[in-house]
Amino acid sequence: MSIRRIFQRFLDWPLRRRLILSFLIVIVIGGIMTLLIGTRIEHQTIISLAEAKVRHDLASAWMVYEERLQSLRDTVRLSATQEYLHAALRHADLERVAGRLDGVRRELGLDVLNLTDAFGRVVVRSRRADMPVGDDVAGDPFVALALRKETPAGTRIVPRDELLREGTDLADRARFQFVPTPMAAERSEDHEDKGLMLKTAAPVMDDSGVLLGVLTGGLLFNRNYDLVDRVKDIVFKGEKYKGHDIGTATLFQDDLRIATNVLDNQGNRAVGTRVSRDVKEAVLDRGETYVGRAFVVTAWYITAYRPIKDIAGRTVGMLYVGMLERPYIDLRNRVMATFAGIAALCALFLLGLLSFVARRITRPLAVMVEATGKIASGDLAHRVEVESWDEIGQLARAFNRMTDELSLAHEDLTQWGQTLERRVEERTRELREAQDRLVVSEKLASLGKMAAGVAHEINNPLTTILINAHLLLERPGRTADDAETLNLIADETTRCAAIVKGLLDFARQTPSQAAPTDINDVIDRTLLLLEMQASVRNIRFEKALDRALPPIEIDKNKIQQVFSNLAINACEAMPTGGTLVVASFMSRDGTHFEITFTDTGIGISKENIPKLFDPFFTTKSFGTGLGLAVSYGIIRQRGGTILVRSEVGKGTVFTVRIPLADPEEENRIEEAQ
Ligand SMILES: Nc1ncnc2c1ncn2[C@@H]1O[C@H](COP(=O)(O)OP(=O)(O)OP(=O)(O)O)[C@@H](O)[C@H]1O
Ligand SMILES: [Mg+2]
């Protein structure tokens, strides 16, 4: 999987997990880096401290070496001044002196204490009186210097033949078969038979300063552990670590360990082994002091090597001190373990803190996501609880504000929707009414034409009938029965004539005599005329008139006819009494007068409502059914309309709407123009 896809997948994780993982990566990488760098610095600090110490230890060891050399020189020089030596040399009485010198040699801890004559020939070998004497050692640089009355002291490589002259035991002590050593430099030989000796030679002179001989002393270092053990005691004070000596010291002859307290795997002193190539090259070949880490026989040591030179300045061996590296490594490991422990504790603490912080960040977000879901599903009253004032808190507050505005907008929309619905309903109703009115008008128009024709034809015969009925009534000799019949004929004919007149009124639509009229005044007069009759039938009139209505251009008689038709109908609908409320007011848009007649009568059934304005539609036995038809015709002519609302058993409202502007007047104005 590519890094990009891993990253993409990471981005899809929940925020909390991402936060924790990111910080975890930072903590782990940071921790490892710190640990590594810390380990390195710690290691370097400890090692450099150890190196400084071993350097110092080497200097101390060298002082022990120097001091040994110095004491060798001093003791031999002192011995050379002894009177018995002068006497023995002067009188060649050497037998006795040999034993005495051997005593001195033992006392001083020397391997060689020889006496030569003034020509450099050995006359006494104190250690081995049995060995031959007389060999010429004047060529020995130490003897040569002593013959010149100097007292040289120093280190010297002693060849095997010279050692053999001191006894095979000494030569054998010096001899080493090389022990195979890894990392040592190649050598053509497989053994060493020379010896490394601390040597001094002091002139033996009589009181007048005449040279009588030379006293030479030597200390063979090969397999002599005094010096290295002394160094160990003085410098390292026998300190041990887990059963091992911390400090070790070694004397090298060239690269060969000839005296050491470094032990091999069997616990023996590791003599016969050789130094590593690196150290050999630095110290023996280049004559430098070497300080550093080195593998010595069985373990790693922090080591220091210093070249040992003979009196001619040639490097002949090395002095080594070394400290076990283990204690330092263990110390470093302990420090690092403590360090790692603290780091782990810190990481744990950080992780806890991080988890807490991440929860603080993500929990409000989860709450907000839930809130969004609720709001989306319609719960606009839902709000997020806000506790903090940080960015999350601000976000939550902004979210709540947004929800507030959303719910306000939603309310507005709902209201607007309802208004719209209402308006649509209103318009639909108006449209239906307009349509109804249109149908009514058409019906009326055609009926009107027919009625006018019929009425015209009937009028004349009716007049003839009526006149003749009256003539017969006035004729003498008629019986009372005849008179009654004739009166009935006259009444019914008059009734027919009234119907015919009504029909003509309805059909003719005579031109109106419009004049500015106070509409309330017309209402007052209409009701005044009917009041008497009404009160008898237990009907009360109430008026709610807007007296501020301006005069309107209208035919006063015709409008009075309309009002009285409506008022009479209302009264007739209340056979057991009731209330008729007549109200007048200006329409809300200021374009119409509206006059309502509200009764508490029997009401009109739904199926009758469409028929109300039909001529001859009546539910009354005495009615003509022309009242509403005629009224409608009058109001239509004036450009207005009549609306009905009714509920059976409760009552009816007739509303007369008259536009302020008279359409006939407008037509006239238009025509005049
Ligand atoms: N206010 C009302 N309450 C109940 N029904 C009414 C009302 N006004 C009119 N009507 C009904 O309408 C019918 C028609 O009325 P319209 O005025 O045209 O004729 P009419 O009153 O029956 O006869 P006319 O007016 O010639 O005496 C009435 O017969 C009656 O059924
Ligand atoms: Mg009527």
Examine the pLDDT at 539 and tell me if it is beyond 90: yes
Task: Please report the pLDDT score of residue 506 as a whole number.
Answer: 66
pLDDT bracket for residue 510 (50, 70, 90)? low
pLDDT of 410 above 70:
yes
Q: What SS3 string covers 352-412?
A: HHHHHHHHHHHHHHHHHHHHHHHHHCCCCCCCCCCCCCCHHHHHHHHHHHHHHHHHHHHHH
Q: Which ligand is nearest to the CA of 567?
A: 1
Decide: 406 and 380 in contact? Cβ < 8 Å: yes
Q: Is 80 exceeded by the pLDDT of residue 452? A: no
Task: Indicate whether 549 pLDDT > 90.
Answer: yes
In angstroms, rounded to a whole number, what is the distance separating the alpha carbons of residues 258 and 221?
7
Cα of 549 vs centre of ligand 2, distance in Å, is: 28
Q: Strands 515-517 and 539-545: what pairing?
A: unpaired
Q: Tell me the pLDDT band of 10, cut-offs 50, 70 and 90.
A: confident
CA distance 201 to 114: 9
Maximum mean pLDDT: which of 130-134, 232-236, 240-244, 562-566: 562-566
Round to whole Å and give the CA distance between 639 and 552.
13
Region of poorest pLDDT, from 23-27, 32-36, 507-511, 666-670: 666-670
Whether the pLDDT of residue 56 is over 80: the answer is yes
Ligand 1: atom nearest CA of 628 is: 18
Which residue's CA is the nearest one to ligand 1's atom 7? 569
| Amino acid (one-letter) located at 207 | D
- CB 458 within 8 Å of CB 500: yes
Q: For residue 599, which atom of ligand 1 is closest to its CA?
A: 1
Task: Report helix, strand and coil shares of the chain as percent, to nearest 5.
Answer: 55, 20, 25
Six token digits for residue 236: 């390292």
What is the mean pLDDT of the segment spanning 46-67? 91
Q: Are 642 and 653 in contact (CB under 8 A)?
A: no
- Identify the pLDDT of residue 673: 53
Residues with CB under 6 A from ligand 1: 565, 569-570, 573, 599, 601-602, 604, 612, 617-620, 623-629, 652
Q: Which ligand sits nearest to residue 612's alpha carbon?
A: 1
Looking at residue 579, what is its pLDDT? 96
Helix axes 556-572, 627-637, angle to 10 degrees: 150
Distance of CA 214 to CAs 72, 132, 208, 311, Å? 15, 18, 16, 18
pLDDT of residue 568: 94
Mean pLDDT across 231-254: 87
Q: Which of 496, 579, 618 to mutate to test the pocket of ligand 1 (most atoms within 8 A of CB)?
A: 618
pLDDT-derived band at 650 (thresholds 50, 70, 90) equals very high
Q: What is the pLDDT averaged over residues 316-339? A: 88
* 546, pLDDT greater than 90: yes
Report d(CA 494, CA 226) in Å as an integer: 176
User: Whose Cα sits closest to atom 3 in ligand 1?
Assistant: 573
Q: For ligand 1, what atom is nearest to the CA of residue 602?
A: 4
Q: What is the mean pLDDT of residues 301-306?
A: 93
> What pLDDT shows up at residue 584?
97
What is the C-alpha separation between 540 and 578, in angstroms, rounded? 6
Residue 567 scores a pLDDT above 90: yes
User: Which of 613, 628, 630, 634 has most ligand 1 atoms within 8 Å of CB, for mutation?
Assistant: 628
pLDDT at 274 over 80: yes
Q: Say whether pLDDT at 667 is over 80.
A: no
Mean pLDDT of 17-26: 83
Give the span between the Cα atoms of 380 and 394, in whole angstroms: 20
From the DSSP assignment, how many helices (H) and strands (E) are in the chain? 16, 21
Residue 602 confidence (pLDDT):
96
When pLDDT is averaged across residues 278-303 and rounded to a whole number, the result is 89
Mean pLDDT confidence for 377-390: 80
Closest CA to 630 of 584, 582, 569: 569
Output the residue whose Cα is nearest ligand 1's atom 28: 618
The identity of residue 118, as a single letter, is A
The Å distance, Cα 580 to ligand 1 centre, comes to 15
Q: State in Å: Cα 114 to ligand 1 middle.
A: 175
| Across 349-368, average pLDDT | 82
Predicted local distance difference test score (pLDDT) of residue 329: 83
User: Ligand 1, atom 19: nearest CA belongs to which residue?
Assistant: 625
C-alpha 434 – ligand 1 centre gap (Å): 21
Q: Nearest ligand, CA of residue 653?
A: 1
Q: Containing H/E element for 238?
A: none
CA distance 162 to 169: 12
Summarize the confidence of residues 391-398 as an average pLDDT.
81
| pLDDT (tens digit per residue) in 145-174 | 999 999 999 999 999 999 999 999 999 999
- Ligand 1 centroid from CA 620, angstroms: 7
Q: What is the pLDDT of residue 238?
A: 76
619: CA distance to ligand 2 center in Å? 10
Residue 35 Cα to ligand 2 middle (Å): 113
- From ligand 2's centre to the CA of 514, what distance in Å? 24
Atom of ligand 1 nearest to the CA of 603: 4
Q: What distance in angstroms lies between residue 617's CA and the mean position of ligand 1's atoms? A: 8
* Distance from C-alpha of 66 to C-alpha of 60, rounded to nearest angstrom: 10
Q: What is the pLDDT of residue 441?
A: 65
Provide the token pair at 444.
């009326």
Q: How far is the CA of 569 from the centre of ligand 2 (A)?
A: 5
Q: What is the mean pLDDT of residues 458-483?
A: 86
Q: How confident is the model at residue 90 (pLDDT cuts 50, 70, 90)?
A: confident
What atom of ligand 1 comes closest to residue 624's alpha carbon? 26
Residue 509: pLDDT over 60: no
Q: How confident is the model at residue 12 (pLDDT cuts 50, 70, 90)?
A: confident
Query: Mean pLDDT score of the chain, rounded to an integer?
Result: 87
The average pLDDT across 403-411 equals 89
Residue nearest to atom 14 of ligand 1 (CA): 618
**Tell me: the pLDDT tens digits for 578-633?**
999 999 999 998 999 999 999 999 999 999 999 998 888 999 887 888 899 889 98
Strands 578-586 and 641-647 come out as unpaired
- pLDDT for the residue 154: 95
Atom of ligand 1 nearest to the CA of 570: 1
116-122 — which CB contacts under 8 Å span 24+ positions? 116/143, 116/213, 116/214, 116/216, 117/89, 117/212, 117/213, 118/89, 118/147, 118/211, 118/212, 118/213, 120/144, 120/147, 120/214, 122/165
What distance in Å separates the CA atoms of residue 100 and residue 85, rounded to the nearest whole number? Answer: 10
Closest ligand, as measured to the CA of 654: 1
Over residues 279-287, mean pLDDT: 92
Which atom, in ligand 1's list, is nearest to the CA of 601? 3
CA dist 480 to 468, 470, 476, Å?
17, 14, 11
- Ligand 1 atom showing the smallest separation from residue 613 Cα: 18
Range from 185-189, 388-392, 491-495, 653-657 carrying the lowest mean pLDDT:
388-392
Residue carrying structure tokens 């008139």? 545
Instruction: Give, using CA atoms, the residue closest to atom 13 of ligand 1.
Output: 618
User: Which one of 581, 596, 620, 626 would you pick to mutate in the ligand 1 pocket, going by the greatest count of ligand atoms within 8 A of its CB?
Assistant: 620
Q: How far apart are CA 34 and CA 267, in angstroms?
A: 41
Cα(641) to ligand 1 centroid in Å equals: 17
pLDDT value, residue 664? 63
Q: Which residues contact 438 (CB under 8 A, 6 or more apart)?
A: none
Residue nearest to atom 23 of ligand 1 (CA): 623
Per-residue confidence (pLDDT) for residue 271, from 0 to 100: 93
Residue 178: CA atoms inside 13 Å, Cβ hemisphere, count?
18
Which ligand is nearest to the Cα of residue 619, counting in written order? Answer: 1
Q: Which ligand is nearest to the CA of 633?
A: 1
Measured between alpha carbons, how far is residue 20 from residues 344, 349, 433, 535 in Å?
A: 16, 13, 73, 94
Contacts 24+ apart (CB under 8 A), 160-164: 160/193, 160/194, 160/195, 163/193, 163/194, 163/195, 163/220
State the DSSP string of 286-338: T---EEEEEEETTEEEEEEEEEEEBTTS-EEEEEEEEEESHHHHHHHHHHHHH
- The three-state DSSP-derived secondary structure of 44-99 is HHHHHHHHHHHHHHHHHHHHHHHHHHHHHHHHHHHHHCCHHHHHHHHCCCHHHHHH
Distance 624 CA to ligand 1 centre (A): 9
Residue 217: pLDDT over 90: yes
Full strand arrangement of the beta sheet holding 651-659: 539-545, 578-586, 592-599, 651-659, 641-647
Q: Which of 569, 582, 612 to mutate to test the pocket of ligand 1 (most atoms within 8 A of CB)?
A: 569
Backbone CA torsion sign across 217, 221, 223, 229:
positive
Average pLDDT over residues 556-574: 93
pLDDT over 60 (residue 234) = yes
- Closest ligand relative to 630 C-alpha: 1
* Ligand 2 mean position, distance from CA 545 (Å): 23
pLDDT band at 9 (very low <50, low <70, confident <90, very high): confident
| Six-digit token string for 32 | 């490892």
The percent of residues in the chain predicted with pLDDT above 70, rounded, is 96
**Is 43's pLDDT higher than 90?**
no
CA of 526 to the centre of ligand 2 (A): 15
Res 507: pLDDT = 66
In this structure, which ligand is nearest to the CA of 620?
Answer: 1
Overall pTM > 0.85: no
* Confidence grade of residue 348 (pLDDT, cut at 50, 70, 90): confident
Which residue's CA is minimally distant from atom 1 of ligand 1?
A: 570
